[in-house]
Structure 1
């Protein structure tokens, strides 16, 4: 095991291993818990045997320790993908010397090399995400993160799937005109005093009530913000604050969840994922996450930004994705504004340069102009491993 344990996870899942014997160092022994949680998230029942520690840069110790382990487990299959180069070299050499089965996970090409070194039979298989059940929770667990509301994969999916009433309300809100948007902003302020909308029709208002965003007041056609919510609370925010934020802008997260879920080839889409709850300095709230074809993608939504903020936002999204998933993650920064809304001199050039910067950082900067194509671009990024042009 080394800094990136997804190759270990993929190897166990692909080989359908019944047991796992981790070879670790003093620095990587604490990853075993993450390794096991990732396997459980994928549905693997493999049991864990006591770990074996080696000195990562001492080739003699690696040979000596691994030789002993192999003698105790003669049917072992060696995954020599991880560890230091010395650990990997010793494992592969001993597999050949003792004519074992071995595998190597090539994450760049999404292939696994299998070797029967007794018969010299070698072949490669593609990493099949669907068969291996490489879902979002697997990647997060392998990255060392705990996820709020994710005791099991079923509970994670239930928590990270928006209620259909929220999806319907988000669809109504997306298509609002200026008068309707004014009503929504006034409703978002209706905590202690009711508001009578001027432009929202009955179907629109009914959708907001069904989504528990607003509730009728005593006076006819007047409404308050609902004190209940179908949204997941951000830390230190009341249900009313959550509902107000949805009316003002966070509805776009739910709308994009629905668009990607229904219009792309990606089935594993999670909404409002909270990482490491209760851990000071490690709490992260992610708008959308999705996994497919051996990779995952983080999508951050912004309802409004200034051009001079884009550079920092791009770097922040890149760093956050690397922190969450290291080599396997990709990202999209979606801004819910049209490019031509920015009237400052040189705005078009600034936007083009920031879009190029996003691609250079392995991600993609998208705008409201790109909304119809967003689900397709997300699919392309997950399949190709690069930002869609």
Structure 2
């Protein structure tokens, strides 16, 4: 039997990762009075239940006062000693406040077989010396983290409950595979001004093809047949051929007319292609888990948005990618960056990253705002290397 003792705090991942790596028989969650009042353990409890790991809540740890905290740690230790002599006890000293960590390490140094510390930034588990170890035995070498978090589990730890993702649907994945060539053509060549002009023109024509459904937020394909001012040539013709081969639209070389296949195809051409390009890039980079079009709800229902373009999880860290082919309607660059940063802080936690992919050349205002907000702005010229950028992030 193995028991892992964790000190609950607002940072969940530092406790969750070692538990999922070691799979103890039981987990003891130590909560201060404030943590218990706020139910701070609920973001940790659900992933443990999903993993089939029983947990026991130990409430009442004082928020302050070293002697009082140490006395509570002794109570927890006495409870664990009654579990049996063959029980392995491991203390995770990463969580809680500093006084809690110091008090529990002092008490458990004579009891725990291992005392660990989660170094999330360097993706490893460190160990502290324990009195139960033979004096001649060296402190264990750090353990490299393994992939134990997927996107839904990571988000659950951040207070977000996933409800669905477009990429979870098999039919969607089959359609995405069928248009992957067109997707990569656009993504890898979007830095060309001529192709950017085509994308702008197609966005304009797609807006003409669609109309809102009355009393709804939905759209319908009202005018599937659209026309350019003259037949596409050169790079425009190459791009239109790729779109036609992917069955997104019907178009014959030398014609100024084209016909959208359906509503989904029109949405794809108007901007969804960039999200899909990002999804293919993270998949091709070999990340542990990637999802597109993630929808769900926050525990507190106070976050700004409940949908993410692309999320990738690798070595228990998150990459949040947002994709924009046009500006947000009615918003300036500062508002765009502010919203992305607020959303990113909620979902990524301390060790996640947020990237903004732009199919149009970003303005100086957006560049400066993104830099201040710790958002990596990926302009058109860098989109062709997106897979390599993801590999660099993955490590």
Scaled to the shorter chain, the TM-score interval is: 0.7 to 0.9
Query: For residue 71 of structure 1, what is the aligned residue in structure 2?
Result: 78
Q: Aligned pair in 2 of structure 1 residues 165, 184: CA closer, same or farther (>3 Å)? A: farther
**8 Å contact from structure 2 (residues 90, 112) kept in 1:** no
1:141 to 153, 156, 173: 156
Query: For residue 69 of structure 2, what is the aligned residue in structure 1?
Result: 62
**8 Å contact from structure 1 (residues 147, 274) kept in 2:** yes
Q: Aligned pair in 2 of structure 1 residues 159, 277: CA closer, same or farther (>3 Å)? A: farther
Q: Determine whether 1:123 maps to 2:158.
A: no
SS in 1 for 2:104: helix
SS in 2 for 1:70: helix
Query: For residue 176 of structure 2, what is the aligned residue in structure 1?
Result: 166
Q: Aligned pair in 2 of structure 1 residues 11, 296: CA closer, same or farther (>3 Å)? A: same
- What does 1:96-135 align with in structure 2 at a 5 Å threshold? 96-98=109-111, 100-114=113-127, 115-119=129-133, 121-130=138-147, 133-135=148-150
Q: Aligned pair in 2 of structure 1 residues 66, 100: CA closer, same or farther (>3 Å)? A: farther
1:8 to 15, 31, 50: 15
Could you tell me how far apart the structure 2 residues matched to 1:261 and 1:192 are?
35
**8 Å contact from structure 1 (residues 112, 125) kept in 2:** yes
**8 Å contact from structure 2 (residues 160, 299) kept in 1:** no
Q: Aligned pair in 2 of structure 1 residues 100, 59: CA closer, same or farther (>3 Å)? A: farther
Q: Aligned pair in 2 of structure 1 residues 124, 138: CA closer, same or farther (>3 Å)? A: farther
Query: For residue 355 of structure 2, what is the aligned residue in structure 1?
Result: 332
Q: Aligned-pair distance for 1:203?
A: 6.9
**Any unmatched runs of 5+ in structure 2?**
1-7, 82-86, 210-220, 251-256
1:29-49 deviation line (CA, Å, top 9, x unaligned)? 3132211333456xx331112
**8 Å contact from structure 2 (residues 17, 316) kept in 1:** no
**8 Å contact from structure 1 (residues 286, 300) kept in 2:** yes
Could you tell me how far apart the structure 2 residues matched to 1:359 and 1:196 are?
40
Q: Aligned pair in 2 of structure 1 residues 378, 160: CA closer, same or farther (>3 Å)? A: farther
Q: Aligned pair in 2 of structure 1 residues 274, 194: CA closer, same or farther (>3 Å)? A: closer
Could you tell me how far apart the structure 1 residues matched to 2:276 and 2:107 are?
52
Could you tell me how far apart the structure 2 residues matched to 1:93 and 1:129 are?
29
TM-score, with structure 1 as normaliser: 0.74
Moved more, 357-366 or 265-274: 357-366
Query: For residue 336 of structure 2, what is the aligned residue in structure 1?
Result: 313
**8 Å contact from structure 1 (residues 272, 288) kept in 2:** yes
**8 Å contact from structure 2 (residues 247, 261) kept in 1:** no
**Any unmatched runs of 5+ in structure 1?**
151-155, 215-220, 230-242, 340-346, 384-389
Could you tell me how far apart the structure 1 residues matched to 2:299 and 2:11 are?
25
Query: For residue 260 of structure 1, what is the aligned residue in structure 2?
Result: 282
Q: Aligned pair in 2 of structure 1 residues 332, 161: CA closer, same or farther (>3 Å)? A: farther
**8 Å contact from structure 2 (residues 105, 115) kept in 1:** yes
1:63-98 deviation line (CA, Å, top 9, x unaligned)? 222211211213421111100111111110001244
Could you tell me how far apart the structure 1 residues matched to 2:17 and 2:41 are?
15
**8 Å contact from structure 1 (residues 136, 291) kept in 2:** yes
Moved more, 310-319 or 54-63: 310-319
Could you tell me how far apart the structure 1 residues matched to 2:104 and 2:300 are?
37
Could you tell me how far apart the structure 2 residues matched to 1:280 and 1:96 are?
41
Query: For residue 270 of structure 1, what is the aligned residue in structure 2?
Result: 291
Q: Aligned-pair distance for 1:145?
A: 1.0
Query: For residue 215 of structure 2, what is the aligned residue in structure 1?
Result: none
RMSD of aligned Cα (Å):
3.4
Q: Aligned-pair distance for 1:326?
A: 2.0
Could you tell me how far apart the structure 2 residues matched to 1:172 and 1:184 are?
16
SS in 2 for 1:163: helix
- Greater strand share, structure number: 2
SS in 2 for 1:208: coil
Larger radius of gyration: 2
SS in 2 for 1:123: coil
1:271-316 deviation line (CA, Å, top 9, x unaligned)? 111230797543421111111133111111111349x944443343
Could you tell me how far apart the structure 1 residues matched to 2:261 and 2:296 are?
28
SS in 2 for 1:375: helix
TM-score, with structure 2 as normaliser: 0.73
